[in-house]
Amino acid sequence: MSLEQELNQHAGLKAIFDAAMVDIEKAGRPDELEAARVKYLGRKSELSLLLRSIPELPQEERPVVGKLGNQLRAHLEQSLADRRQELEGGELEARLAAERVDITLPGQPFPQGHLHLITQTMWEIEDIFTGLGYRIAEGPEVETDYYNFTALNTPEGHPARSEHDTFFIEGHPDLLLRTQTSPVQVRVMEKEEPPIYIISPGKVYRRDSDATHTPMFQQVEGLAVDRNVTMADLKGTLETFTKAMFGAQREIRMRPHFFPFTEPSVEIDVSCLICGGSGCRACKNSGWLEILGAGMVDPNVFDFVDYDVDEVQGFAFGMGVERIAMLKHRMTDIRMFYDNDLRLLGQF
């Protein structure tokens, strides 16, 4: 016989059972359940009072109330515990459902930067020349007069010095911000014997500022010293570079020029990137754009580093990285690189 059936023997206990089971079932929250516990099992509950009053009950009623009353109490305790667990489980589920995170949603976008166009161009130039077997050599930006000028066949008083409006260091007449990366040629040749194939990238400084000049800019200088090096090697090397940088259709031409440390010296032009050579505003109708300076290393420079001028020859070239980037991306003002306007920089 189930407890429920047995309780039919005592109308009072049965009534407690019925009411309690309804309230426990109805309780939807832990506080409601606690109220039901107090109501049916608390010290002042009907059941507790009844159990406490057993001694005063008529003789034949006592065992029935004692036994069934205790069973009822145990049953209600168990029902409360079961319901509590149900509620807690439900609460957890409800919380899990409410706080659920969709991990497949895209995250907060985070602005991402990238390398500056000048750095990208510098790395592109370096890649092309290291691919041709050149190695990268670097030197100081604060240079001595000797390496920047004298050892490059530009002695004091030489008119070529005045072309490089130089920043000197106050109180140190012998020190300056290098006007070119060419001093690295001399530094490498002093320490090493030919064959030498190097490029020297880096910052250089001149007291200049307009649409095509900034007081600081970047150069990549190249130097090749070996036996039987001719101007044809120089031309082939720079043609290979130009086609790799600007496209296979590009042609180059050499124009006579002057640099103190190369003899003969040339400037290299590339066929206009805009009109392809037929003539337009960008190339001032010439069909050509100047990209760099170059020449055969002057034997005087080899004398400064004690190379045997009867044994070795060399060529050198130097380019402005900003100029290459401006031509490639058709920019008109060099200062745009250093304005740090993300609307411009973000395009590259």
| Contact with ligand PHE (CB under 6 A) among 27, 273, 294, 301 | 294
| Contact with ligand PHE (CB under 6 A) among 268, 316, 321, 325 | 316
Report the candidate in 4, 74, 57, 44 with the shortest Cα–Cα distance to residue 65: 57
Which is closer to ligand PHE, CB of 20 or CB of 122?
Answer: 122
Selected range binding ligand PHE among 18-26, 89-97, 134-142, 293-301, rule: CB under 6 A: 293-301
Which residues in 182-201 contact ligand PHE (CB under 6 A)? 182
Nearest approach in angstroms of CB 220 to ligand PHE is 9
The torsion angle over the Cα atoms of residues 278, 279, 283 and 284, rounded to 10 degrees, is 160
| Contact with ligand PHE (CB under 6 A) among 69, 202, 260, 293 | 293
Q: At 333, list the tokens.
A: 């003002």
Which is closer to ligand PHE, CB of 62 or CB of 255?
Answer: 255
Looking only at the bridges linking them, the beta strands covering 135-136 and 196-205 are parallel
221 binds ligand PHE (CB under 6 A): yes
Contact 197, 133 (CB under 8 A): yes
Task: Residue 40: count other Cβ atoms within 10 Å of its Cβ.
Answer: 24
Binding mask 94-133 for ligand PHE (x = CB under 6 A): ----------------------------------------
Nearest approach in angstroms of CB 302 to ligand PHE is 14
Which is closer to ligand PHE, CB of 202 or CB of 293?
Answer: 293
Distance CA 58, CA 91 (A): 47
Q: Taking each helix axis from N to C terminus, what angle separates 117-131 and 231-246, rounded to the nearest 10 degrees?
A: 130
Q: At 55, list the tokens.
A: 């001694």
Which is closer to ligand PHE, CB of 45 or CB of 185?
Answer: 185
Contact 51, 73 (CB under 8 A): yes
Could you tell me which residues are beta bridge partners of residue 320? 219
Which residues in 158-187 contact ligand PHE (CB under 6 A)? 180, 182
| Contact with ligand PHE (CB under 6 A) among 40, 259, 302, 337 | 259
Number of shown-chain residues binding ligand PHE (CB under 6 A): 11
Q: In what order do the strands lie in the sheet with 168-169?
A: 142-144, 172-177, 168-169
Q: At 313, list the tokens.
A: 């020859």
Handedness of CA 257, 258, 264, 268 (dihedral sign): negative
Contact residues for ligand PHE, defined by CB under 6 A? 180, 182, 221, 259, 262, 293-295, 316-318
